[in-house]
Amino acid sequence: MKIQDFNPTYTYVAKGRVLGNYWGGGKGSYKAKQFVSKISKQDLIEIVNKALKDGSLDSGMGYESLIGACLDITITSSITIEGKTFHSEEIEELNIGNMTEDEIEFTRYGIE
pLDDT in tens, the chain (112 residues): 555 557 889 999 999 999 999 999 999 999 999 999 999 999 999 999 999 999 999 877 789 999 999 999 999 999 988 888 999 999 999 999 999 999 999 999 876 5
CB neighbour list of residue 43: distance below 8 Å, 6 or more residues apart:
12, 37
Name the residue type at position 88. S
Question: According to the model, what pLDDT value does residue 71 have?
Answer: 98
pTM for the model: 0.86
3-state secondary structure of 10: strand
Q: Distance between CA 59 and CA 31 in Å, rounded?
A: 6
Give me the phi and psi of 100, to 5 degrees please. Answer: -75, 170
Q: In total, how many domains does the chain have? A: 1
Residues 35 and 96 sit within 8 Å (Cβ to Cβ) = no
Domain that holds residue 99: 3-109
